Amino acid sequence: MDSGAYLASQLAKGFARSLHQRAVGLGFSPGQFPILLELWAEDGLTQKQLLDRVAIEQATMANTLSRMVRDGLIERRPHPSDKRAQLIFLTPKARAMEAEAIETAREADLALFKGFRGFERELTLEYIRRLLENAKAL
C-alpha cells in the first residue's frame, strides 16, 4: 500500500522493533527512550514539560513514567513551588546507561539507513520533518 500514513506506521514499527532488539539488555523499552533522552538533556522536568517535549498522550506518559519508576529509571520528587506538580529525576541506573543507550539508538538508525548515501539520508530526514509538521496540523 502506498499510503503515507500506512508506510509511516510500518516504519515506526520497524524502528521500534530494531531498537527493542538492541536495547533489551540495557533495561529500557523503546517507548521510554524519548523520555530518557529529554531527561538526559535536562533532568528534573515536570510531567507537563515532558508531555510538551515528547508529544504523547497524557495517559501514555503517566503509564510510561509509572513503569520507569517501577524499573528504577526515574524518581519523582515534590516541586519546590507547586504542590500539585512533581519533578522527574533520573536515577543513577538511568544515568549509567546513557552512553550505551544512545549508541544503541545510533546503531538502529544506521541500520535503518543502510544503503543510503549521506545526502539521501539527510533528504529523507528533511522530508520526515516536513511530514511531522503537517501531521501536527491535522
Are 10 and 50 contained in the same domain?
no
**pLDDT, tens digit (0-9, with 9 covering 90-100), for 99-125:** 999 998 888 888 889 999 999 999 999
Are 92 and 102 contained in the same domain?
no
Q: Return the SS3 of 114.
A: coil
Are 75 and 112 contained in the same domain?
no
Total count of domains within the chain: 2
Are 51 and 83 contained in the same domain?
yes
**The predicted structure's pLDDT at residue 27:** 84
User: pLDDT-based confidence at 1, cuts 50/70/90?
Assistant: low
Are 4 and 32 contained in the same domain?
no
Going across the sheet that includes 86-90, the strands are 45-46, 86-90, 74-78
CATH classification of the domain holding 66: 1.10.10.10
**pLDDT, tens digit (0-9, with 9 covering 90-100), for 20-76:** 777 778 888 888 989 999 999 999 999 999 999 998 899 999 999 999 999 999 999
Residue 96 reports pLDDT greater than 90: yes
Long-range contacts of 3-12 (CB under 8 A, 24+ apart): 4/131, 8/131
d(CA 104, CA 44): 24
Are 88 and 109 contained in the same domain?
no
Are 75 and 122 contained in the same domain?
no
The whole domain housing 15 covers: 1-26+97-138
